[in-house]
Amino acid sequence: MKSFNVPAARKARCRVWLPIFLAAFFLLAYGASSAYAMISVGTLNQEQAQKKYGITMHARKNGDAGILVWLEFKKEGWLKKFTYAELHMKNEQGKHLVSAKLEPRPVKHGQSEEITTVSFSADSDQLKNCSFLVVSYQGIAGGVGYYLNVRDFIDLNDPALAK
Protein backbone atom coordinates (compact mmCIF):
# COMPACT_ATOMS: atom_id res chain seq x y z
CA MET A 1 0.00 0.00 0.00
CA LYS A 2 1.32 3.40 -0.99
CA SER A 3 1.07 6.33 1.40
CA PHE A 4 0.65 9.90 0.30
CA ASN A 5 3.38 12.20 1.40
CA VAL A 6 2.00 15.73 1.58
CA PRO A 7 4.73 18.37 1.85
CA ALA A 8 4.88 20.21 5.17
CA ALA A 9 4.44 23.62 3.49
CA ARG A 10 1.14 22.51 1.97
CA LYS A 11 -0.10 21.21 5.33
CA ALA A 12 0.73 24.56 6.92
CA ARG A 13 -1.22 26.46 4.25
CA CYS A 14 -4.27 24.24 4.85
CA ARG A 15 -4.07 24.88 8.58
CA VAL A 16 -4.14 28.63 7.92
CA TRP A 17 -6.88 28.75 5.25
CA LEU A 18 -9.28 26.17 6.66
CA PRO A 19 -10.34 28.24 9.72
CA ILE A 20 -10.67 31.36 7.54
CA PHE A 21 -12.83 29.47 5.04
CA LEU A 22 -15.04 28.02 7.77
CA ALA A 23 -15.46 31.41 9.47
CA ALA A 24 -16.43 33.03 6.15
CA PHE A 25 -18.89 30.23 5.42
CA PHE A 26 -20.63 30.54 8.80
CA LEU A 27 -20.77 34.35 8.55
CA LEU A 28 -22.36 34.06 5.12
CA ALA A 29 -24.87 31.48 6.36
CA TYR A 30 -25.69 33.62 9.41
CA GLY A 31 -26.20 36.73 7.29
CA ALA A 32 -28.43 34.90 4.83
CA SER A 33 -30.76 33.61 7.54
CA SER A 34 -34.33 34.91 7.09
CA ALA A 35 -34.57 35.41 10.84
CA TYR A 36 -32.21 38.33 10.50
CA ALA A 37 -33.68 39.78 7.31
CA MET A 38 -34.86 43.38 7.24
CA ILE A 39 -38.51 44.31 7.16
CA SER A 40 -40.06 47.29 5.44
CA VAL A 41 -42.48 49.04 7.77
CA GLY A 42 -45.34 51.37 6.87
CA THR A 43 -48.65 52.54 8.31
CA LEU A 44 -52.14 51.51 7.22
CA ASN A 45 -55.29 53.52 7.83
CA GLN A 46 -58.70 51.90 8.21
CA GLU A 47 -59.67 52.12 4.54
CA GLN A 48 -56.35 50.73 3.26
CA ALA A 49 -56.35 47.88 5.78
CA GLN A 50 -59.90 46.84 4.92
CA LYS A 51 -59.75 47.18 1.13
CA LYS A 52 -56.21 45.92 0.52
CA TYR A 53 -55.88 43.20 3.14
CA GLY A 54 -59.29 42.56 4.71
CA ILE A 55 -58.06 43.63 8.15
CA THR A 56 -60.68 44.91 10.58
CA MET A 57 -60.26 46.30 14.10
CA HIS A 58 -62.86 45.98 16.86
CA ALA A 59 -63.21 47.05 20.51
CA ARG A 60 -65.43 46.33 23.50
CA LYS A 61 -65.33 46.70 27.27
CA ASN A 62 -63.35 44.03 29.04
CA GLY A 63 -64.22 44.42 32.73
CA ASP A 64 -61.38 45.48 35.00
CA ALA A 65 -58.90 44.97 32.14
CA GLY A 66 -60.21 48.09 30.36
CA ILE A 67 -61.00 47.85 26.67
CA LEU A 68 -60.32 44.76 24.56
CA VAL A 69 -59.07 45.72 21.08
CA TRP A 70 -58.56 43.11 18.38
CA LEU A 71 -57.67 42.67 14.72
CA GLU A 72 -59.32 40.10 12.48
CA PHE A 73 -58.02 38.94 9.11
CA LYS A 74 -57.75 35.93 6.84
CA LYS A 75 -54.33 34.57 5.89
CA GLU A 76 -54.62 35.52 2.23
CA GLY A 77 -52.40 37.50 -0.12
CA TRP A 78 -49.69 39.34 1.80
CA LEU A 79 -51.03 37.89 5.07
CA LYS A 80 -50.70 34.30 3.83
CA LYS A 81 -47.22 34.29 5.40
CA PHE A 82 -48.32 36.11 8.56
CA THR A 83 -45.40 35.85 10.97
CA TYR A 84 -46.26 37.84 14.09
CA ALA A 85 -48.11 40.80 15.58
CA GLU A 86 -47.07 43.15 18.35
CA LEU A 87 -48.67 45.75 20.58
CA HIS A 88 -46.80 49.07 20.66
CA MET A 89 -47.58 51.80 23.18
CA LYS A 90 -46.07 55.28 23.30
CA ASN A 91 -46.44 58.12 25.79
CA GLU A 92 -48.03 61.51 24.98
CA GLN A 93 -44.71 62.78 23.55
CA GLY A 94 -44.36 59.76 21.24
CA LYS A 95 -41.64 58.02 23.27
CA HIS A 96 -41.79 54.23 23.21
CA LEU A 97 -43.16 52.72 26.43
CA VAL A 98 -44.15 49.11 25.76
CA SER A 99 -44.06 46.50 23.04
CA ALA A 100 -45.30 42.94 23.38
CA LYS A 101 -45.73 40.03 21.01
CA LEU A 102 -49.38 39.05 20.56
CA GLU A 103 -50.41 35.43 20.12
CA PRO A 104 -53.18 34.64 17.63
CA ARG A 105 -56.26 33.24 19.40
CA PRO A 106 -60.03 33.52 18.99
CA VAL A 107 -61.79 36.43 20.69
CA LYS A 108 -65.32 35.19 20.09
CA HIS A 109 -66.78 31.80 20.93
CA GLY A 110 -67.31 29.75 17.78
CA GLN A 111 -65.04 31.97 15.67
CA SER A 112 -64.25 30.55 12.24
CA GLU A 113 -60.85 28.85 11.97
CA GLU A 114 -60.08 30.80 8.79
CA ILE A 115 -60.09 34.05 10.77
CA THR A 116 -56.87 35.01 12.57
CA THR A 117 -57.29 37.26 15.61
CA VAL A 118 -54.75 39.12 17.74
CA SER A 119 -55.79 41.25 20.71
CA PHE A 120 -54.79 43.23 23.77
CA SER A 121 -56.56 45.05 26.60
CA ALA A 122 -55.69 48.53 27.84
CA ASP A 123 -57.17 51.39 29.82
CA SER A 124 -59.42 53.49 27.57
CA ASP A 125 -57.28 56.59 28.22
CA GLN A 126 -54.24 54.81 26.74
CA LEU A 127 -55.82 53.55 23.51
CA LYS A 128 -54.88 56.71 21.57
CA ASN A 129 -51.23 55.77 22.14
CA CYS A 130 -51.55 52.11 21.11
CA SER A 131 -50.94 50.42 17.78
CA PHE A 132 -50.64 46.96 16.30
CA LEU A 133 -47.61 45.98 14.22
CA VAL A 134 -48.47 43.14 11.82
CA VAL A 135 -45.52 41.46 10.07
CA SER A 136 -45.35 38.95 7.25
CA TYR A 137 -41.96 37.59 6.15
CA GLN A 138 -41.79 37.02 2.42
CA GLY A 139 -38.67 34.85 2.39
CA ILE A 140 -34.96 35.49 2.47
CA ALA A 141 -35.38 39.01 1.08
CA GLY A 142 -37.13 40.11 4.27
CA GLY A 143 -40.65 41.04 5.13
CA VAL A 144 -43.28 43.71 5.30
CA GLY A 145 -44.84 45.14 8.42
CA TYR A 146 -47.61 47.65 8.97
CA TYR A 147 -48.57 49.75 11.96
CA LEU A 148 -52.29 50.08 12.56
CA ASN A 149 -52.94 52.89 15.05
CA VAL A 150 -55.98 52.25 17.24
CA ARG A 151 -57.03 55.93 17.06
CA ASP A 152 -57.36 55.59 13.25
CA PHE A 153 -59.77 52.64 13.52
CA ILE A 154 -61.77 53.00 16.73
CA ASP A 155 -63.94 55.94 17.79
CA LEU A 156 -62.33 56.68 21.14
CA ASN A 157 -65.21 58.98 22.08
CA ASP A 158 -67.80 56.21 21.71
CA PRO A 159 -69.84 56.09 24.97
CA ALA A 160 -69.81 52.27 24.80
CA LEU A 161 -66.06 52.43 25.46
CA ALA A 162 -66.24 54.97 28.30
CA LYS A 163 -65.11 54.03 31.80
Q: What is the C-alpha to C-alpha distance for residues 139 and 160, in angstroms, rounded to an integer?
A: 42
What is the total count of domains within the chain? 1
pLDDT value, residue 25: 58
CATH of the domain at 151: 2.60.40
Residue 91 lies in a domain: yes
Range of the domain at 42: 37-161
Mean pLDDT per 10-residue section of the chain, whose length is 163 residues: 59 60 57 61 94 95 94 93 95 94 90 93 95 89 90 92 79
From residue 96, alpha-carbon distances to 111, 119, 152 in Å are: 33, 19, 19
Q: Minimal CA–CA distance to 114: which of 67, 73, 59?
A: 73
Residue 8 lies in a domain: no
pLDDT value, residue 34: 46
Residue 46 lies in a domain: yes
pLDDT value, residue 140: 74
Residue 55 lies in a domain: yes
pLDDT value, residue 108: 83
pTM of the model: 0.74
pLDDT value, residue 150: 97
Q: What is the C-alpha to C-alpha distance for residues 29 and 89, in angstroms, rounded to an integer?
A: 35
